[in-house]
């Protein structure tokens, strides 16, 4: 492999402080670096070129980014330097530190762990693909449950060539299937020297979040696997963080339970504003690394951050600046917590209504309900009709859209349905099933 001297330097920093983390890197992860070219010369000039700064690739007029009035008029309360200008490759520094504070405030378990500064990503999908850039080689084993967000397969298998191994998500008693998870992880750890384990709670598509005991169970399985000399990249996709509807569910990111348990484990926390701040189209996510060690952690974080920045620079260059400014301002708003709470209550009332409606025995012959307690979704296991056939029938005859998953599961996004429409939604799905069974 032909490797640039800057990449070699970052690799050495990682190797010196934790050889296992170096071994986890993909070939691309080993080669990537953040160049000291235009961007760092520009950053230096920003500090020192007080007379004329002719370094950066934007246009300047009257001391601020040049802009068109038609666009400025729409966003006239945001200074052009915070909207029209480029943001740094790793994201706006104030936003990164505000989000770090939020992570620590929301997740007591992470407070005593070595946690990097979050890098801003173009939504969570981008955070996941950056993680795959740095850590997934074709053929690497990726552990996922049988019920998963479909994009994981498209990304990790089709795009990155990983070998996905699945385990059944639910146990017979309706909780997370720790036994199956253990079996799959430990068997895979004996066959591979590296595993990528991706976990997502609140879950898409099931709407299930772990209990604290289940979270401890997952963490102990991952630690046991690491103890068999297997390196583990444990990714926690926290897209739906905060939408918890039951007292018994874990209210923290699973990353806090996994991080800090073994030097062979690198925990990657993927979270963001997309769902937490109800800004799906803004594309603001965060990628944060958590380590077992405190000694040398800052050096490893520096090297991983530079590599992540290189992966961003070489693909999308940087993320939307205006979106970052909007999310930062929201985080600085005193009313944000209350606003978020109110919206979470609306979502909780929909989940509650779904639970009430589906309790009715009249549906017993049509479906079983998978346990759910969080997030946007719930799933039905259909007893007598094909999910895809039902989906198209509901669409064509009743104008109702739901998602068919596999042969028998139907995913319903109650996040999109007003409380007063929920009864009718389930009655109509039931009617659709009866039409098809007749
Ligand atoms: C589990 C999960 N992770 C990540 C994402 C992607 O989030 P983003 O829109 O920020 O890329 C989604 C979106 O549907 C999701 O369901």
Give pLDDT tens digits along the chain (438 positions). 789 999 999 999 999 999 999 999 999 999 999 998 777 787 788 789 888 888 878 999 999 999 999 999 999 999 999 999 999 999 999 999 999 999 999 999 999 999 999 999 999 999 999 999 999 999 999 999 999 999 999 999 999 999 999 999 999 999 999 999 999 999 999 999 999 999 999 999 999 999 999 999 999 999 999 999 999 999 999 999 999 999 999 999 999 999 989 999 999 999 999 999 999 999 999 999 999 878 899 999 999 999 999 999 999 999 999 999 999 999 999 999 999 999 999 999 999 999 999 999 999 999 999 999 999 999 999 999 999 999 999 999 999 999 999 899 999 999 999 999 999 999 999 999 999 998
- Bridge partners, 290 (sequence order): 115, 267
For residue 367, the cross-strand partners are: 382
216 near 178, Cβ under 8 Å?
no
CA distance 234 to 218: 11
The domain spans of the chain are 5-33+89-332, 35-83, 337-437
Token pair listed for 237: 């996709």
Task: Look at ligand 1, atom 16, and give the residue with the nearest C-alpha.
Answer: 204
Say if residues 137 and 231 touch (Cβ distance below 8 Å). Answer: no
- Rounded distance between C-alpha atoms, residue 301 and residue 128, angstroms: 17
Ligand 1 atom closest to the Cα of residue 200 is 1
H/E element, 180? helix 178-191
Contact 12, 296 (CB under 8 A): no
What is the pLDDT, as a whole number, of residue 52? 83
User: Is the CB of residue 205 below 6 angstroms from any atom belonging to ligand 1?
Assistant: no
CA distance 334 to 337: 7
Give the C-alpha separation, 84 to 192, whole Å. 47
Which conformational region is residue 229 in: left (phi greater than 0), alpha (psi within -120 to 50 degrees), or beta? left
C-alpha of residue 3 to centroid of ligand 1, in Å: 33
Pocket test for ligand 1, best of 145, 150, 151 (most atoms within 8 A of CB): 151
411 C-alpha to center of ligand 1: Å? 16
Q: What is the helix (H) or strand (E) element at residue 233, kind and residue range?
A: strand 231-237
Query: Which residue, judged by its Cα, is nearest atom 1 of ligand 1?
Result: 204
Query: Residue 362 gets which letter from DSSP?
Result: G
pLDDT of residue 73: 97
* Best CA proximity match to 401, nearest among 373, 369, 428, 375: 428
Cβ neighbours for 1, distance < 8 A, ≥ 6 positions apart: 27, 30, 31
Burial class (CB in 10 A: 0-12, 13-18, 19+), 243: buried
pLDDT at 306: 97
CA distance 312 to 369: 41
Cβ neighbours for 343, distance < 8 A, ≥ 6 positions apart: 278
Given a contact cutoff of 8 angstroms between Cβ atoms, the answer to whether 1 and 137 are in contact is no
CA–CA dist 412, 424 (Å, integer): 13
Q: Which CATH number fits domain 337-437: 3.90.1150.10, 3.90.1200.10, 3.40.50.1820, 3.50.50.60?
A: 3.90.1150.10
Cα 123 to ligand 1 centre (Å): 8
Sign of CA dihedral 89, 266, 130, 324: negative
| Whether the CB of 204 sits within 6 Å of ligand 1 | yes
Taking Cα atoms as reference points, which of 143, 102, 95, 344 lies closest to residue 242?
344
Tokens of 259: 């991080």
pLDDT of residue 345: 96
Strand partners, 404: 410
Q: Whose CA is nearest to atom 3 of ligand 1?
A: 239
Chain-centroid distance of CA 222 in Å reads 19
Contact 166, 338 (CB under 8 A): no
- In CATH, the number for domain 5-33+89-332 is 3.40.640.10
Distance CA 297, CA 111 (A): 15
Mutate which of 118, 123, 124, 198 for ligand 1? The one with the most ligand atoms within 8 Å of its CB, which is 124
pTM score: 0.97
Q: What is the pLDDT of residue 41?
A: 81
Q: What angle do CA 401, 407, 408 make, to 5 degrees?
A: 70
What confidence score (pLDDT) does residue 43 get? Answer: 76
Q: Whose CA is nearest to atom 7 of ligand 1?
A: 124
Contact 1, 27 (CB under 8 A): yes
Expressed in angstroms and rounded, the spacing between residue 17 Cα and the centre of ligand 1 is 33
Phi, psi of 349 (to 5 degrees): -70, -35
pLDDT of residue 140: 98
Q: Are 355 and 371 in contact (CB under 8 A)?
A: no
Q: 239 in ligand 1 pocket by Cβ < 6 Å?
A: yes
Cβ of 115 below 6 Å from ligand 1: no
Ligand 1 centroid vs 226 CA: distance in angstroms?
A: 28
* Whole-number Å distance between alpha carbons of 207 and 204: 6
pLDDT (0 to 100) of residue 385:
97
């Amino acid at each position: 492999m032909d490797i640039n001297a800057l990449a070699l330097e970052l690799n050495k920093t990682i190797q010196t402080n934790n050889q296992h983390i170096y071994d986890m890197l993909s070939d691309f992860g080993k080669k990537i670096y953040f160049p000291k070219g235009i961007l760092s010369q520009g950053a230096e000039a920003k500090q020192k070129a007080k007379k004329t700064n002719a370094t950066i690739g934007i246009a300047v007029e009257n001391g601020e980014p040049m802009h068109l009035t038609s666009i400025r008029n729409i966003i006239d309360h945001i200074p052009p330097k915070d909207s029209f200008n480029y943001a740094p490759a790793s994201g706006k520094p104030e936003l990164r530190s505000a989000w770090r504070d939020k992570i620590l405030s929301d997740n007591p378990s992470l407070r005593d762990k070595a946690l990097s500064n979050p890098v801003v990503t173009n939504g969570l999908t981008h955070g996941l693909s950056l993680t795959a850039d740095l850590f997934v080689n074709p053929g690497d084993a990726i552990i996922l449950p049988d019920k998963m967000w479909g994009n994981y397969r498209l990304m990790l298998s089709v795009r990155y060539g990983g070998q996905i191994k699945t385990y059944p998500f639910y146990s017979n008693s309706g909780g997370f299937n720790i036994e199956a998870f253990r079996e799959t992880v430990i068997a895979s750890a004996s066959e591979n020297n590296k595993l990528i384990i991706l976990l997502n709670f609140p879950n898409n598509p099931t709407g299930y979040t772990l209990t604290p005991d289940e979270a401890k169970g997952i963490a102990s399985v991952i630690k046991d696997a690491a103890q068999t000399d297997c390196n583990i990249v444990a990714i926690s996709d926290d897209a739906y963080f905060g939408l918890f509807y039951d007292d018994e569910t874990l209210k923290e990111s699973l990353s806090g339970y996994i991080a800090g348990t073994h030097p062979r484990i690198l925990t990657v926390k993927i979270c963001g504003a997309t769902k937490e701040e109800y800004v799906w189209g803004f594309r603001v996510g965060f990628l944060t690394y958590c380590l077992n060690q405190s000694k040398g952690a800052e050096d490893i974080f520096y090297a991983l951050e530079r590599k992540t920045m290189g992966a961003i620079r070489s693909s999308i260059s940087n993320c939307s600046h205006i979106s970052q400014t909007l999310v930062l301002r929201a985080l600085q708003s005193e009313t944000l917590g209350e606003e978020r709470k109110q919206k979470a209550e609306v979502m909780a009332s929909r989940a509650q209504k779904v639970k009430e409606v589906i309790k009715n025995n009249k549906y017993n012959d049509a479906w079983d309900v998978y346990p759910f307690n969080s997030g946007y979704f719930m799933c039905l296991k259909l007893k007598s009709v094909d999910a895809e056939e039902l989906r198209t029938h509901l669409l064509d005859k009743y104008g109702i859209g739901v998602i068919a998953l596999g042969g028998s599961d139907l995913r319903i996004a109650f996040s999109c349905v007003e409380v007063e429409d929920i009864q009718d939604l389930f009655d109509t799905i039931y009617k659709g099933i009866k039409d098809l069974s007749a």
